[in-house]
Amino acid sequence: AQSVTQLGSHVSVSEGALVLLRCNYSSSVPPYLFWYVQYPNQGLQLLLKYTTGATLVKGINGFEAEFKKSETSFHLTKPSAHMSDAAEYFCAVTGYNQGGKLIFGQGTELSVKP
């Protein structure tokens, strides 16, 4: 079975500050991990994903995430927040031989203060 826990349903940062959104997963098979962003009244957009290889993954809009197997984590970071980053962020996991079924976390709403 697989599961995802996102710590903090709401995160608020100042513009220009570091963004850190936490994601921990549980998986009985090697995980494939994703971060999606959802802007108000829009669908989900893929930020980045980890399947195999390099554990530090760079995505769109300056975001990156690091897969840490020992910590079962896949935290999302961005060095400097922009007002346009305000959105809901979802971490998701699937794995080898899981049929591609994504299991999502509850989401973290990011607010960016001017």
Partner 1 sequence: GAGVSQSPSNKVTEKGKDVELRCDPISGHTALYWYRQSLGQGLEFLIYFQGNSAPDKSGLPSDRFSAERTGGSVSTLTIQRTQQEDSAVYLCASSLVRGQGGGANYGYTFGSGTRLTVV
Query: Do the beta carbons of residue 79 and residue 70 sit within 8 Å?
Result: no
Shortest distance (Å) from residue 17 CB to partner 1? 25
Query: What length is written for the chain?
Result: 114
Query: Do the beta carbons of residue 60 and residue 37 sit within 8 Å?
Result: no
Residue 110 to residue 98: CA distance in whole angstroms: 30
Residue 59 to residue 27: CA distance in whole angstroms: 23
Which residues would be at the binding site for partner 1 (CB under 8 A)? 6, 32, 34, 36, 42-46, 49, 51, 90, 92, 94-107
Q: Is the Cβ of residue 69 or residue 96 nearer to partner 1 in the bound state?
A: 96
Shortest distance (Å) from residue 76 CB to partner 1? 15
Q: Is the Cβ of residue 43 or residue 114 nearer to partner 1 in the bound state?
A: 43
Shortest distance (Å) from residue 50 CB to partner 1? 9
Q: Is the Cβ of residue 91 or residue 112 nearer to partner 1 in the bound state?
A: 91
